[in-house]
Each structure stands twice: as C-alpha cells, then as structure tokens.
Amino acid sequence: MRKNSGITLITLVITIIVMLILAGISINMTIGNGGIFNTTQKAIDTTTNETELEELNVIIEQCLNDSMIQGYGAYITDRALYVSIKEVIGYSNDGTLKDVKVSKTNEGDYLITFIETKRQYSISKSGEISEEYTYVDNIESITDIFKGITDESVIE
C-alpha cells in the first residue's frame, strides 16, 4: 500500500485564495480611506494646525501686553507684532523673521502666513484669531510688511 504524502492541488489553491484575501484586507487597512496612512496624515495636520494656533495665541498675548504697556490700548501694533514674532518663532542669522510672512488687509487686519505649511491665519487689530486658515500656493506673492527689517526700532 502506498501512502500519499504532500499537499494536494486543491489545498494549495485554497491556501493561495485565503492569503490573497488577507493581503487585500491588510492593504486596504493600510492605504484605504480610513487606513493607517490617512489617519496618520490627518493627525499630523491637526497637530501642526494646533501648534500654529498656540504660537499665534502666545504672539497675540505678548502683542496686546506690549501695546497696553506702551499706551496704545488693547490693539496690536506693527512693532509689538514684530517683537512678539521674533521672540516666539525666532529670526534668522541676518536678523529677519524666519518661518512666517506678515501682511495686512485693507481693513488693517493682519495675515500671518507660515511658510513651511503655507497656511495663512487672519488676526484682527484687537487680537482675535480666525482659527480657519487658507492655503497660499505662491508664498513669494505675499507682500511681507516686515521684509528686510532687522531692528524693531525702525517700526512705528
């Protein structure tokens, strides 16, 4: 009597089908709409957004305190904003602000754009921050009111 040892063709086909199903589920869980990569990217975006808002809140608080001390009332001044950004975010080796561009609207509100993320936040003269941001495709097109300034004494 002869014993068959080994795997049959049917068993091999069933094993391959089960492995393909498991591979499909794993790939979908990794890169699908609710997958690990998308969830991670959303978490990174949320964290970056919250970090930027926290930096803006610190900047605004310092601005308002500085403006009150200088007798301008509870309004943001260009000089106070420049000094606060320089202290909170920092400046480059040449003394200019780094990582942000600041512009003004026709109404006198400020638009602060984070260069790396291309997110732009609106800040009123009274210090209210719009938590909704807009993306700026062309950072170079922004007219930076502090461009080339290295010393706050030149700002009125």
Element (H, E) at 55: helix 36-69
Question: Which pLDDT does position 139 carry in this prediction?
Answer: 85
Q: How far is CA 71 from the centre of its chain?
A: 33
Give the model confidence (pLDDT) of 64-96 as tens digits.
988 888 877 788 888 889 989 988 998 888 888
Give the model confidence (pLDDT) of 92-130 as tens digits.
888 888 889 999 988 889 999 999 999 999 999 888 988
CA distance linking residue 28 with residue 69, whole number of Å: 58
Give the model confidence (pLDDT) of 25-67 as tens digits.
888 888 877 778 888 889 999 999 999 999 999 999 998 988 8
86's CB contacts (< 8 A; 6+ apart) are: 97, 152
Put simply, whether the predicted model's pTM sits higher than 0.95 gets the answer no
- Any bridge partners for residue 122, and if so which? 111
Question: What dihedral angle (degrees, nearest 10) is formed by the CA atoms of 11, 14, 19, 20?
Answer: 140
